[in-house]
Chain A
Amino acid sequence: MSRMQSIRQVSGLIISLLLLALPVQAQSPEQKGLEIAKERKARDRGWGDSRAEASMILRTASGQQIERKMRMLSLEMQDDGDKGLTIFDQPADVKGTAFLNYSHAIEPDDQWMYLPALKRVKRISSRNKSGPFMGSEFAFEDLSSFEVEKYRYKYLRDDKINSLNSFVVEQTPAYEHSGYTKMIVWIDKEHYRAHKIEYYDRKGSLLKTLTMHDFELYLDKYWRPMKLSMVNNQNRKSTDLITHELQFRTGLDENDFNQSTLRRVR
């Protein structure tokens, strides 16, 4: 009897030990990738709203270079993707054209373009996520806000990027109509900032490489790269997205992100 009891006790002990050990053993690369993504998002919560002045420098393979200027208003949403309003200032023929975006995690984004000459707001089919933004090497989906649910994750390895210890995570789009089969993202371990993203096309070959530069700290908490550099590895074109000025908590709210404001924004 006592022997039976001791066996039970021992087996109970083994089971509890096993249970204790399980979480460590069972943190699969997928789980670790997801944890990193959650931490990345958590560290970026609470910025509220922002206004930015930015330029896109578009370069062709032959070195032809052209500048686009724009202003971007952004609003952080708690249970949904962020809202964004972009006003184009250059080239002159699109001056006054504005773009409104409600990003969502899994559902396609809601997007509208305002054409000032016609005073017309046109809905855009955002299934065209993989389409280029303003003729640049950035696709619409590259500029949409980062939401945890957007991807499936897989932690690959540790690496160093810009001499910082970092995680390398594979992200597979969980939403439909992406132009990518996967992305490889380098995230530094200290601040969970993405430093480099490789985009792989539908055939699985490297399509584009995005690198982030000149990080600055806002509100003592939020890191923002002042320069995003996207290089197309297949056609050798590139686009730099440069932020000249960035302000947070400027008092924007949802009333600043609707079709009426899109129509009158300057």
Chain B
Amino acid sequence: MKRTLVTLCLLASFTALADTQTYLKAAIEQRFYFQDALYPQQHNSDISVFVEPELYYSWNQGTGSINIKPFVRYDSRDSERTHWDLRELVWMQIGDEWEMRAGISKVFWGQTESQHLVDVINQTDFVEAIDGEDKLGQPMVQFSLIKDWGTLSAFALPYFRERTFAGADGRFRSPIAIDTDNPLYESDDEEKNLDWALRYFQYFGDVEIGLSYFDGTNREPDFIPQPGEDGMSLRPYYGQMQQTGLDMLAIAGGTLYKLEAIYRQTTDEDFYALTAGFEHTSVGVLNSPYDIGWLMEYQYDERGEQATSLGQNDVMLGSRIVFNDIDGTEVLIAYVQDLDETSSRSGFIEASSRISNNWKWRVDGWFFSSDTQDEPTYLLRRDDYIQFSLEYYF
């Protein structure tokens, strides 16, 4: 009897300390492309929907938890863009000065806005958006120590995720199709190569420093042309790399100074790359409630025109306008200029605002321009678009 009572009490206290939270994000997106497509399979408009539910369950006052976040997109034009992914399926345990995660999860490293050189744990879900901000879920075991002297994290990454690419019917693609079904790997273990990484992060008042090291499969593929029955195709080749990264942030007055630098070693080459810049915010501009932020970042890649990243000697100028209204209206405008090829430039605009507690509209626009054939931007020269989204959150 006594035992049952104790068990009941324990159960009661356990459930009292447990917590379930649900989240949902879904949207319908309509894209219009400004120019006629380069290739006959492509279209001048596109409608697409996605759903991303999330379930969080924790116990023992949140010291243990599970998070599940699947993602599904349907695209009316491109079957490669119609895809699903487990963004998260992760178990977490936390202590006073440590945390442990095991499962599929996402990690962000870095400080800059225009590109994320240091951030190499998760693969880019490239069919999602041209900015590369969307990531695929990464299987991992992570252990972090959170001490006065900083946060030290170790990652074991037992399974590699291939980058997604647009299909023949999609925009933002090369003239030759990418054969995503037949990737090549440098590692004999292919996608099962055990990658690992370390990161140290510390905050010293107005300065923040992150140091990272990654050893494993390069998230950025090279492409190997291969003749086939349907003509030429490009097979993604995922090499091995060792990358040392540094990211820094410093605050002086109302300005944030940001730096990311990497040194990457691959079998073929070793190189440096960096992004450096600042963000300055003025509050209550001209006696209005608006905040205006000015961003400028310089992107450098030692490989020059051979760089797989878009920014090899480029400058990004941007402005973020926050209306500080009830609807949370924000506009971000940016322009990227290649300093070697004056004809190569791109720009984007992102604007969003709330309609109600659960609904939001968003407009995204991108334009690309290049006359130089060996520039990555050249592939996108006819892919300027504007996208209207209606988003639902719960």
- Known A255-B96, A258-B146: A135·B284 in contact at CB below 8 Å: no
Asked if A259 meets B254 with Cβ closer than 8 Å, knowing A179-B284, A264-B92, the reply is: no
Q: Is the contact region of chain B dominated by helix, strand, or loop, or is it mixed?
A: strand
Question: Which residues of chain B have C-beta atoms less than 8 A from A96's C-beta?
Answer: 23
Known: A91-B354, A128-B254, A135-B324. A259 touches B203 (CB 8 A): yes
A93-B354, A255-B146 known; A119 and B107 CB under 8 Å?
A: yes
Interface assignment of B99: CB less than 8 Å from any CB of chain A: yes
Does A260 count as interface, using CB distance less than 8 angstroms?
yes
In the complex, chain A residues 49-78 whose Cβ is within 8 Å of any chain B Cβ = 58, 60, 64, 66
B19 within 8 A of A: yes
- A181 and B327 CA atoms in complex are apart in Å by 29
If the complex has contacts A91-B357, A125-B251, are A259 and B56 also in contact, measured as CB distance less than 8 A? no
Q: Which of B169-209 contact A (CB under 8 A)?
A: 201, 203, 205, 208
Complex contacts, B208 vs chain A, CB 8 Å: 123
Asked whether B283 is an interface residue with its Cβ less than 8 Å from the other chain, the reply is yes
| Residues of B with C-beta under 8 A to A58 | 326
In the assembled complex, the CB of B107 is this many whole angstroms from the nearest CB of chain A, namely 7
Q: How far is the CA of A96 from the CA of B55 in the complex (A)?
A: 12
- State whether A94 touches B328 (Cβ < 8 A): yes
The majority secondary structure among interface residues of chain A is loop
Tally A-B pairs: CB < 8 A: 91
Contact partners of A120 in chain B: CB under 8 A: 108
Q: Number of B residues contacting the other chain (C-beta, 8 Å)?
A: 49
Whether the Cβ atoms of A66 and B254 lie closer than 8 Å is no
Q: Which residue of B lies closest to A66 (CB)?
A: B326
Instruction: Tell me the B276-311 residues at the A interface (CB within 8 Å).
Output: 279, 281, 283-284, 289, 291
Answer whether A260 and B62 are a contact pair too, CB < 8 Å, given A127-B254, A132-B324, A135-B328. Answer: no
Known interface pairs A131-B283, A135-B327, A255-B96; 20 further A-B residue pairs with C-beta atoms within 8 A, sorted by A's residue number: A91-B357, A91-B393, A92-B393, A93-B393, A119-B106, A119-B107, A125-B251, A127-B253, A127-B281, A128-B283, A131-B284, A132-B324, A179-B283, A255-B146, A259-B201, A260-B99, A260-B151, A264-B94, A264-B99, A266-B21
A residues in contact (CB < 8 Å) with B: 58, 60, 64, 66, 90-96, 108, 110, 117-121, 123, 125, 127-128, 130-132, 135, 177, 179, 255, 258-260, 264, 266
